[in-house]
Structure 1
Amino acid sequence: MLLNKICIAGIFLYGCNAVAQQHTVQDSVKNTQLNEVMITATRNTRQLANLPLPGAVVDSATIARAGIARLNEILSEQTGLITVADFGGGEGLQMQGLDAAYTMIMIDGVPLAGRTAGTLDLSRITVGNIERIEIVKGASSALYGSEALAGVINIITKKPKPNTLKGVAAYRYASFKTHDANVTLNGGYKKLVASLFANHYINGGYDLNTSTPNKTVEPYVNTTIQPKLGYTINDKLNINGSFRYYNQLQDYKLYSSETNYSGKTEINEWNAQLKADHKWTDKSRAEYEIYTTNYRNGQYLNSPEGTPYENSFYNQWLIRPEIRTMYNLKKGIFTTGIGFNHESLNRTYFQSEAVFNSGYAYAQYDYNPGGRLNLLTGLRYDAHSKYRSQLSPKIAANYKVSEALSVKTSVGYGYKAPDFRQLYFNFTNSSQGYSVLGYNVVQEQLAALEAAGQITRLYDVNLGSPLKPESSINFNLGAYYKKKALKADINFFYNSINNLIDSRAVALTTTSQTIFSYINVNRVFTYGTELNAQYNITDNLRLQGGYQYLVAKDPDVINKIKHGEVFARDRNTLESFQLKRSDYFGLFNRSRHMANLKLYYTVPVWKTDLSLRAVYRSKYGLTDSNDSQGVLDKYDTFVKGYVLLHASVTQPLGKHFLLQGGANNLLNYTDPVNISNLPGRIAYLKLQYNF
């Protein structure tokens, strides 16, 4: 198509800066990341450079310059973050080598729901109204509880501003018949502020394998609406409320037994947040918050004659009130919090609605004795209705060696509770010959099948004790350096996960159908190094890069190899041979090396922003291809390493208009067999009007 030809020739159309609610264009190269602050890591505003925890901030100017539309796209360009595709083409996030299920995803400090298969799809979140993205790496359960075992991603959306009346309208057209339209309205009068953001997104889908009748990702359309309202009662009390609604409708098709089935998949999600900020004294304040979210997903398939073939649903609720207090002491800030979670899920393949209730309390002291040392300590207690209570501590320190150099270290505990699926799932696929039963229902179902004489074998699996939460110990050691035009940081990390929950065969039926359930099986560990650097070559030219080295392995596999218990099959001779420890590559879907390199340039005369960004991922394995008992070794077939190249040009047109053009995956890299979330080159053109 025409846009692709333009990108191949390297001629990019001018483009818009997507910084909403601004009438003029900032010189992004000079002004970006000068005074980065973060709230998520400590729940208090802290300078990122002095924070004793590993983290990063992606601001709105960086997002705008990248010319992307969805959250997964901008996160995939950050050091140490890998977006991994799920079965529906959506994408979750892998951090420090830990699965997507172990990272908490929040919007404005509150968690999102809808992990239908353990992964929360990041592609459903638009970037049009994001102020910044805060990334905290490492176990964060001391503040955020379950799911924060690997870290936290907090998407902070733009706040309404007082005494203004402004708006932004933007439209973006991209490859694969993609339309993306945003409208932002902002107004304030005296003590009242309000804003409204709306996004409408249409994607025509794409097909990486034309030999099959169905597309890799079917066409879909979604809409996001987010109003916000704030009122200042007096100089000590503010009330803020926000509501977010999301709807997506997608074609759902299946080709089976020479029959084409068709239907629809629909997602409806909303979340509402009401918060009061109360300043008690000059040195103490409190936040009172109540948050509710509902995520619903339904899909159906019909035969060509209209006969129902499949119908499923998913309905999850979360209600969470919380009170936080902050005390400014002589040498630090003392933060406390207490809250309650009520969570329920009713879905296909559950015998009945499942309900979790949990109360929690946490405390944190951000200690600054003066001089060069900052010490951060925290502790959280979670009491859950379905599993044993959890105590999550952490301690971190930052020491300023000089004005330019500081060192930081942290040790934290993380945990992830068994989810609804792992406890209550009751699914049977007769055509494929297997069943999956949640831990809390498997014993009852097995007993019933045994009584009916339908079990031929029970495997040696312990189902007697309650399923335990997964837990981890996370350690980080790093340094931060900033002097004149150079800024750099390095971090060494180590994660050890215990009580890993995995699926295992527990029984075999008389019809040769295998029954699986979830149990605590083993441990995994990950360790590695992250390096980020930024150098301002001139006021208008900046070079930025990042690199991660990662090792992720299972110590039980290492032990079995050590004792000569693991064998692989030579694919040429079909003979078995014993694996050595050096043959073991590690966990599936982990790359040993990741890197990114970004070049930003502003043409002063025309105020034109140019960006060129490259992202590299080294080889990784997805399956055991040589019958080595589920072990990924160096003789397996690997997905080859690849580079993605992105480019954009941004140009203001007068006082109110901005125009942007460019392409993501400029080299048109695809791997239809192994990578379903890379559709190929995406060329785009965007126009924005500020009023």
Structure 2
Amino acid sequence: MKKRCLLTILLGGCVVMSSLAQITFSGKVINAETGLPVRGANVRLEQTTIGCATNSKGEFKLKNVKDGEYTLRASCLDYSPLRLKVSKDKTNLLIKLQKTPINLDQVVVTGTGTHHRLKDSPVPVEVMSSEEIKKAGITDFQTAMTMLQPSLSFSTNAMGSYLMMNGLSNKYVLILINGKKLTGDTANNIDLSRIDMNSVKRIEVLKGAASALYGSDAIAGVINIITDQPKNLLTVTSNTHLEKYGQFTQGVTADVTTNKFGSYTSYRRQQSNGWRQNPLDEDGNVTDKVSSLAFDANVINQKFIFKPTDKLSLHTEGGFYDRLTDRPIAGYNYNLKYQSYNLGVGAKYLFSHSSYIDFNVSNDNYHSGYKYLTESGKYQIGDKKTVKKQHYYNANLKGVFRHSKAFKSVVGLEYINEQLNRESASVDKHVYTGAVYVQEEIKLLQDLQAIVGGRYVHHQEAGNSFTPKASLMYKLGNFNIRASYAGGFRAPGLDELYYYMHSRKTITVGSTDLKAEKSQYGSLNVEYVSSRFTASATAYINQVDDMINSRTTLLSAMSAEERQAIIDQATAVFGAQEITGLKKYKEYRNLDKALVKGFDTNLTAYLGYGFTLGGGYSFAYARGKDQDGNWTNINRSIRHTGSVTANWVHAWNSYKLNINLNGRVQSKRYYLVSGADDSAPGFGLWNLNTRHTFDCGKSFIVEPGFGVNNIFDYKDSRPYGSNYSSLTPGRTLYVSLLLKFRQ
């Protein structure tokens, strides 16, 4: 009996020791053709959180791995990923990666809310990698979207850049940073200066309604900016860009990564002296006002990640942004100032590689105002006035569960609270939104998969909404065929709900009776994918109903009772003296509808000998119907847009040369003002960029750059006040310098 007990104890101890046994995988990643080490390759054990980046010698080591069988995956930009089965201790693995000019294994998350390789995503998503952006010599978000995304366009005014996507305005485009909404606008234009391009890993663009997954505002599409999190122990970069008219950008990042801890810090300084397109205004008079304002801006972001176990990760992050214009005193009474700060915390628990729970709480705050250049009323020179405060609070609980190889579920709860304070407009309000969403990914056959889902929303003022989605993807050899349908909705903004403003003899009033705007979107996508050539074409239709717009009525056209009621209310708010000469009454209503039809095409081809050619074309027939039943072109919409990118790269030992030519051509931008045609003419912009990479030893890279922006010296030199096609000042030269250290 004693022997049996002793044997049982010994066997139990062996089982326990075996379960606690740990192994190590180590080796080297090399270029299969040259045999040279591949630095910065990502080596990871699938279905775990264990991974690292290769050092300057291409070496890697994965320690403290529980004994068992694993699939090791090695990947790197410009290389085809490689998988191999591993078990027991392996200390001399040699992994040979094949060079590829087209990244077919790019991972995306936008569109499904789960990770998919780009070529396998059931929803078509367009991706711009940091490498593509860097090759084009681009340092700001707006230029990246303009030159590399033909379906996006910008019209610029003194208050900010007005974004359009496939014929619909910026209020129908949801901009995310790592899946979190970017808030804060100037005159209803999202402040894009807050986006720090130095820390961007990739930008994912999803076109069409995506409200089932992302909620309000995603009627035209979603732009998700994914930031980088290097795997090296220490990575420090400095990126400097200098151009004519005092255009200067300085970015610095400092990242530290260990097995359990990560710290990611970024800072960007951007400034410009500004310029004018024409010294004359539309009446032929000399003006001191400028078309492109001088400014300086700073962005600081910090993120910490802590992984106490292989399954649990925690993070906290925050950022600060400020921007101040520098307008000439002769033409203006004040400068414009903007500030924002954001905070967020979150946790993620892995049940397996494909099943997890993710919880995030975030807060974004944005303030805009004036800094006076001259005395104005009670304000003295240098005084500051806050005009608008915006606060956005979001809590999101999402679970992703893979039941089998054929089924994956996404379920989530979301709570949003938005606050707006505008003292001058008598607005100090907040509104909440609650939502529940579900999505099911189904693999019907080996080459056929589907996604179905929906979101149910309750908005404090606009009531309840339900938005469905359905996507189907069929793989036929090298072809992917995708069909999608999605409902979209946009809840009325706080300005539209509660606005009460007196300006220029006009009273503008919001309404709590507004309904949510809704859309129906359908698309068909065909894509061809190979190792040297990819091409895609997407046809779509997007119908938007109950669009919110303002209707203006002359007080003289109203009945005496209606007119007196408006005057009495305005007098109580602003005072009798302030509303002297009041003539117009403007109110927000669900007045309009829109119908956008179009198609997009994209292609990328590797021509051999280091040459790559890419481009795209977008056609958007965007029409709107007003309350009188008239169909017209949607303001700021563009019918035809195209982009081209040609790149050549070659390496000589430790030196690599990259030459990039990129261009954008677009037709006129439609714009009607009080029935008069003020459309902006079509134009073309072409840029030539060179980058010179010097590999200075094991851990240090120096990369100077030189280039010409706007090669053919295009400039819209019409008088000040025109609806400019572009604010480019003409041909400019630039120099840049990237320094990178990693250990």
TM range (shorter): 0.7 to 0.9
Of residues 514, 520, 526, the one that matches 2:584 is 514
For 1:242, the equivalent position in structure 2 comes to: 317
Q: CA deviation at 1:311?
A: 4.5
Distance 2:326 2:378 in 1: 17
User: Over residues 178-225 of structure 1, what are the superposed CA-to-partner deviations in whole Å (9 max), with x where a residue is unaligned?
Assistant: 221111111123411112111111211121122311222322111111
State the match for 1:156 in structure 2.
Answer: 226
1:93 is matched with 163
1:444 maps to none
Q: CA deviation at 1:349?
A: 3.2
Give the direction of change, closer, same or farther, for the CA distance of 1:496–1:558 in structure 2 (3 Å limit).
farther
Which of 456, 460, 482 does residue 408 from structure 1 map onto?
A: 482
1:680 to 706, 713, 730: 730
Q: The residue matched to 2:644 in structure 1 has which SS?
A: strand
CA distance in 2, matches of 1:658, 1:22: 21
Pick the structure with greater CA Rg.
Answer: 2
Match for residue 507 of structure 2 among 420, 435, 441: 435
Equivalent residues of 2:447, 2:475 under 8 A apart: yes
Match of 2:113 in 1: 43
- More moved, 599-608 vs 404-413: 599-608
Amino acid at match of 2:364: T
Q: What secondary structure, in the 3-state scheme, does the structure 1 residue paired with 2:103 have?
A: coil
Look up the SS of the partner of 1:63 in the other structure. helix
1:142 is paired with a residue of what secondary structure?
helix
2:45 match: none
Q: Where does residue 687 of structure 2 map in the other structure?
A: 646
- Residue 529 (1) aligns with residue 599 (2): yes
Does 1:314 find its partner at 2:397? Answer: no
| Whole-angstrom CA distance in 1 between matches of 2:476 and 2:136 | 35
SS in 1 for 2:147: coil
User: Deviation at 1:84?
Assistant: 2.2
Query: Paired residue for 2:263?
Result: 194
Structure 1 residue 107 corresponds to structure 2 residue 177: yes
Q: 1:366, 1:374 within 8 Å by CA — same for their partners in 2?
A: yes
Per the TM alignment, residue 283 of structure 1 is displaced from its structure 2 partner at its CA by 5.8
Q: Which residue of 1 aligns with 2:659?
A: 610
Residues 435/379 of structure 1: CA separation in 2 closer, same or farther (3 Å cut): same
- 1:216 pairs with 2:291: yes
1:102, distance to aligned residue in structure 2 (A): 0.3
Q: Which moved more, 1:509-518 or 1:410-419?
A: 509-518
Distance 1:73 1:368 in 2: 39
Equivalent residue runs for 1:621-636 within 5 Å = 621-623=670-672, 630=675, 636=677
**CA distance in 2: counterparts of 1:160 and 1:275, whole angstroms:** 19
Which letter maps to 2:665? Y
Q: Aligned partner of 1:92: which letter?
A: Y
Partner of 1:469 in structure 2? Answer: 516
Match of 2:467 among 389, 392, 406: 392
In the other structure, the counterpart of 2:707 is 662
Q: Over residues 605-632 of structure 1, what are the superposed CA-to-partner deviations in whole Å (9 max), with x where a residue is unaligned?
A: 35200000110101232225xxxx84x8
Per-residue CA deviation, residues 323-373 of structure 1 (Å, 9 max, x unaligned), is: 110110221210011021111111243324110111111000111133111
What's the CA shift for 1:558? 11
CA RMSD across the alignment:
2.6
Tell me which residue corresponds to 2:528: 481
Q: Measure, in 1, the Cα distance between the counterparts of 2:351 and 2:715.
A: 57
Equivalent pair of 1:496/1:523 in contact (CA under 8 Å): yes
In structure 2, give the amino acid aligned to 1:685.
V
Q: Residues 674 and 352 (structure 1 numbering): CA distance in 2 closer, same or farther, change over 3 Å?
A: closer
Q: Deviations over 1:220-248 (max 9, x none)?
A: 11111111111111111111222121111
Partner of 1:337: 412
- Single out whichever of 64-73 and 501-510 deviates more from structure 2: 501-510
Q: Give the direction of change, closer, same or farther, for the CA distance of 1:395–1:243 in structure 2 (3 Å limit).
A: same
Percent sequence identity over matched residues?
A: 25
- In the TM superposition, residue 468 of structure 1 has moved relative to its aligned partner by 1.0
Distance verdict in 2 for CA 1:522–1:539, change over 3 Å: same
The C-alpha deviation readout for 1:43-94, integer Å capped at 9, x for no partner, is 1111222223232011110111111221111011234433323532522321
Q: Separation in 1 of the partners of 2:123 and 2:688?
A: 32
Which residue pairs with 2:50 in the alignment?
none
**Unpaired segments of 5 or more residues in structure 1?**
1-18, 441-465, 561-583
Q: Secondary structure at the match of 2:144?
A: helix
Aligned to 1:73, what secondary structure does the other structure show?
helix
The question of whether the paired residues in 1 share the 8 Å contact of 2:687 and 2:708 is answered with: yes
How far the C-alpha of 1:557 sits from its partner, in A, is 9.0
Q: Give the TM-score normalised by structure 2.
A: 0.77
Distance in 2 between the 1:374 and 1:246 partners? Answer: 43
Distance 2:183 2:728 in 1: 25
Offset from partner CA, 1:639-672 (integer Å, 9 cap, x none): 3221110110000134221101112222221214
Number of residues of Structure 1 aligned to a counterpart in Structure 2: 608
User: CA 1:413–1:689 in 2, change beyond 3 Å: closer, same or farther?
Assistant: same
Q: Are residues 418 and 34 of structure 1, via their aligned partners in 2, closer, same or farther at CA, if it must alter by over 3 Å?
A: same
Contact 1:204–1:218, Cα closer than 8 Å, also in 2: yes
**Distance (Å, rounded) in 2 between the aligned partners of 1:26 and 1:481:** 21
Residues 253 and 473 of structure 1, relative CA distance in 2, 3 Å threshold: farther
CA contact (8 A) 1:618 1:641 kept: yes
Partner Cα separation in structure 2 for residue 355 and residue 494 of structure 1 = 34
Native 8 Å contact 1:160 1:229 kept in 2: no
Give the 5 Å matches for 1:107-186.
107-161=177-231, 164-186=233-255
Return closer, same or farther for 1:427/1:307 CA change in 2, 3 Å cut-off.
Answer: same
Hey, what's the Cα distance between the residues in 1 that align with 2:147 and 2:387?
A: 34
For residue 601 of structure 1, what is the aligned residue in structure 2?
648
Paired residues of 2:167 and 2:620 also in contact (CA < 8 A):
yes
Q: Which has the higher contact order (CA 8 A, sep 6+)?
A: 1
- Structure 2 counterpart of 1:616, one-letter code: V
The residue type paired with residue 367 of structure 2 is R
Which residues of structure 2 form unaligned runs of 5+? 1-40, 42-52, 57-75, 80-98, 280-285, 557-562, 564-580
